[in-house]
Structure 1
Amino acid sequence: MKYSKYILWIGLAFMIALSFYLSYLIWASPANKDQSLVEETEDSQTQDQQEIIAASEVFLPLKTVYLNDDNAQASNTESLLEDLQTNIAQSTFGSLDVQSYNSDEGLVEQMELSQGIEMDYAASFPLESYNDFFDMDLPIEGNEEENFTFQIIQVDFERDQIRFINKDEQLIATADIQSSLADVQDVLKEDSIDWYDVVKDEQLDYFTYFNEEPVKLRKFSYIASSRPYTVFRDSFFTNPNNLRSNEDTEDLNIYDGSESMVIAPDDQTVDFQGAISQDENFDKYTDSYQYIRNLGTSYGSIRFLDSMQNTIDYHIFVEGFPVFSDNDEGKFSVDFSEAGQDSQRSVEIQANLNMIQVPIPSDSEVEVPSGRTVLEDLYYVGADSDKISDLVVGYHWENIEDTGVVDLEPNWYVQYDDTWYNSEDLMQHLQESED
């Protein structure tokens, strides 16, 4: 018994010491780690290359709104969006009919929906790409339909129709759904969906549903790390096995003929320069996806957020919401431009090696104000309604100094004059402009 007591105390002391050591590894090591660039083993390269992201995951709409008579609820749950898209894609469609309207009021009147769902994008999306990415069987024929873009999808349960709405050009493309919508309706009844009540206020915005009351969303904390640069090398280069590098400078420069990549160790930024064949089949969505698809699941959920001119922006998403960062962590920007040669188009990809990796358990929540309130406040300080393209809830990436920890806090983000702003920062900017 006497020896057992000593053994017990020794074991307890060992467990306490081990606990302190593991805590040190988690908290101290990321903060004090060398900012040098990291390579990975051949085994992990092979594994990453096999984990290709499907286009149907990358190009999901941002959210869905479920309309049931006078009740409107919204959800950003990714599994719901995936299931809805899968079931819609299995439907049989009649021919498309494109109609134009002379005003927003006329367009909104044709969009009235009492039983059905509405899904939206933050940027205009090509109908032809949507048809391909989700393996649908829409009968797209003729130049008008092939070039049609939209921001909103509606599935009308009463009329058995699917509608694609271009709110900028006041167009609607409509097709009858000739198969049952029972599977789509059943998905909406699953218990695992996080719904929140929404309303539409046409005095503020004709097309957007907002949460009328503040909602509480989880605040997340993660231990951050840097992905090996070889993940980007193997994803972006045409022939990653035949490259040269220049390590005589502070930055790492990898190149091969017309392709090059510069990695800066201080801020972990990646800048890839390349070229693609310039032909009549160029599509910035499809061509940019060819680079993003090979990143695999290393970054979690990577999804399309917006597009401006010839630039496509992809972001990591957490719990169905996009992540924004002051240093563009978690963002992948793909830009196409003329290369000065008839047969080629230049490509530039900007990204960051930093990523969120190990979640830190927390029950902390943040109250997000109603979208209606945010929009009213923006107009009050002088925001131009013509410059507001979209308003979404996103997570702000905040690096906690000297800890290696990243906090993700939910905020409203506004796409204003082709730039994404935290709503509070935009309000301050507008107020200072007035002064």
Structure 2
Amino acid sequence: MKLRNFLLHSGLIITVIISILLTAIIWLNPATFQHNSKATTATGDTLQNNDHKEIGDVFLPTQVVLSESNNLYQLVSSHVDLVQSFRQQITKQKVQQISRHKNLTDYQSFLKQNNAIVLNYGSPVTIRLFNQAFKQKITKYQNLKYNRILIPLNSKGVIYLLNDSDKNVFQITFKQLIWNKIKQQLKNKNIQQLPVEYELENSQYQLAYKQAITLPSYSYLINKVNASSLVPELLNSDGQSTITTKVQKNQTVYSDGGDNRMVISNKTGKVTFSSYSNLNYYTGTKRSHVESLSYNDLLKQSFIRINSIGNSLDDVRFDRFDSTSETATFHSFVAGFPIINSNDYGGFRIQILNAGGQQYNFSIYSLQVMVPSSGRQLTLPATAQVYQSLIQAGYAPAKIKGIKIGYRWQTNHSSKLVADLIPSYFVNINGKWSSYSSLLENTDTSNTR
């Protein structure tokens, strides 16, 4: 055991040293690694940034659920990317037809049918985004919303798009889709099967964990964006503005003297960018003002914004859209779970208002590469137990809007250049996600109970 701990500690130190050396090289010779602020392109529906991430790479499903022998299992793994496997298989074939599924009598039974895989989104997306994610050219129903892709494993040419809100199901027919290779992949020992069930919350089915589950923790090198690199991207894209900088208490405020303002917390690295310009929307490669945006356009514009920031989009996925605040949230995902925190580490919140205003929330810190860790595992209780504990602690059931599992970001004790990701339950209380443990530890909950 001592030898194993020594090797893990040594491996972590070596990895950190290599990272520091590479960082020094980048600073000494920035031209080699310089981010091209003009590398984001927007032509029609094809959007891509300098690290070759397209809009379809970000608007992918985030959960994989297997229905087998009348049981449901969430499939999770840090070694096997099942979403990409299904994506590659679907991309190889072309859609022949899309039609409304007319013989549906029970939506929930259809969702839970045996011998099927369901790929889940956190919030609905559109057929237009399906085209981008799976390289298709469906021309009908392009603004249709769906939040699940159901794949019958014994069917050779059919998948279904499901929408929990209106209980609509659309059938997509291919000439041939064969899942034999993926069926073999599902047997991989590196894939965990977590027993789950669907519970209806706010007109959408959410996963609930039927029993206690054990998940690993992970460690990653932290990537830090230099604040000065954000100024030309967000405040001075045309190179004509005069930027003022003010240090106020624990934050630095950047302004162009007009409609744009950026505030960076010197303590946490959290960034808030606000703009009230009328020319906030992209049509093709040019900015223009439009009176209103469709749901698809709101999601598309949100992607353009996170692309323009310049942070890496590796493992970043669309997580949810809040129609009340018109805010799209994107998170970094690890083994099928989002990284959730109040400082937006590894994530983005993009608010675009039809009146012309916009606000971005993100962090100068993001994840880089996984490093050796202790392999510590944590056991989390069943979802029902979490709910009961919250009720017993005094939280009103009506104010609990959702419960899910994610990863909590904390700085490694040995190195500030490393983040430890710890599995945890997160609870939505009145629209704000907080860790389950922090809610139970909070002795003053008068505002949430």
TM-score range, shorter chain: 0.7 to 0.9
Where structure 2 has 5 or more consecutive residues not aligned to the other structure, the ranges are 1-9, 21-26, 40-49, 282-288
Secondary structure of the structure 1 residue equivalent to 2:98: coil
Instruction: Tell whether the 8 Å contact from 2:260 to 2:273 is kept in structure 1 after alignment.
Output: yes
Instruction: Tell whether the 8 Å contact from 1:381 to 1:431 is kept in structure 2 after alignment.
Output: no
**TM-score scaled by length of structure 2:** 0.72
Instruction: Tell whether the 8 Å contact from 2:200 to 2:206 is kept in structure 1 after alignment.
Output: no
Match of 1:168 in 2: 165
Kindly state the Cα deviation for residue 395 of structure 1 after the two structures are TM-superposed. Answer: 0.7
Per-residue deviation, residues 315-346 of structure 1 (Å, max 9, x unmatched): 1222332111232322211001244xxxxx22
Match of 1:120 in 2: 120
Report the number of matched residues.
390
Match of 2:24 in 1: none
Structure 1 residues 202, 259: closer, same or farther in 2, change over 3 A?
closer
Q: 1:354 aligns with which of 365, 385, 389?
A: 365
Secondary structure of the structure 2 residue equivalent to 1:57: helix
Match of 2:409 in 1: 397
**TM-score scaled by length of structure 1:** 0.74
Partners of 1:263 and 1:107 in 2: CA distance:
46
Partners of 2:132 and 2:305 in 1: CA distance:
17
Kindly state the Cα deviation for residue 100 of structure 1 after the two structures are TM-superposed. Answer: 11
Instruction: Indicate yes or no: 2:286 matched with 1:286.
Output: no
Instruction: Indicate yes or no: 2:175 matched with 1:179.
Output: yes
Q: 1:325 aligns with which of 322, 327, 341?
A: 341
Q: Which amino acid aligns with 1:79?
A: D
Q: Which amino acid aligns with 1:394?
A: G
Instruction: Tell whether the 8 Å contact from 2:201 to 2:402 is kept in structure 1 after alignment.
Output: no
Match of 2:320 in 1: 306
Match of 2:270 in 1: 269
**1:19-418 matches, cutoff 5 A:** 41-46=30-35, 49=39, 50-70=50-70, 72-77=72-77, 79-89=81-91, 90-97=93-100, 106-141=106-141, 146-158=142-154, 160-169=157-166, 171-182=167-178, 184-190=179-185, 191=188, 194-200=191-197, 207-224=205-222, 226-233=224-231, 235-236=233-234, 239=237, 241-250=239-248, 251-255=252-256, 258-274=259-275, 275-276=280-281, 277-279=289-291, 282=294, 283-294=297-308, 298=312, 300-309=314-323, 310-339=326-355, 345-357=356-368, 359-375=371-387, 377-378=389-390, 390-399=402-411, 404=416, 405-418=418-431
Percent sequence identity over matched residues?
18
Instruction: Tell whether the 8 Å contact from 1:383 to 1:430 is kept in structure 2 after alignment.
Output: no
Secondary structure of the structure 2 residue equivalent to 1:326: coil
Match of 1:16 in 2: none
Partners of 2:385 and 2:331 in 1: CA distance:
26
Structure 1 residues 46, 296: closer, same or farther in 2, change over 3 A?
closer
Kindly state the Cα deviation for residue 64 of structure 1 after the two structures are TM-superposed. Answer: 0.8
Partners of 1:194 and 1:265 in 2: CA distance:
40
Partners of 2:420 and 2:222 in 1: CA distance:
10
Secondary structure of the structure 1 residue equivalent to 2:95: coil
CA RMSD of the aligned region, Å?
3.9
Q: Which amino acid aligns with 2:140?
A: I
Structure with the greater alpha carbon radius of gyration: 1
Where structure 1 has 5 or more consecutive residues not aligned to the other structure, the ranges are 1-18, 30-37, 340-344
Q: Which amino acid aligns with 2:319?
A: L
Greater per-residue helix proportion: 1
Instruction: Tell whether the 8 Å contact from 1:414 to 1:423 is kept in structure 2 after alignment.
Output: yes
Kindly state the Cα deviation for residue 136 of structure 1 after the two structures are TM-superposed. Answer: 2.5
Structure 1 residues 203, 121: closer, same or farther in 2, change over 3 A?
closer
Partners of 2:443 and 2:122 in 1: CA distance:
22
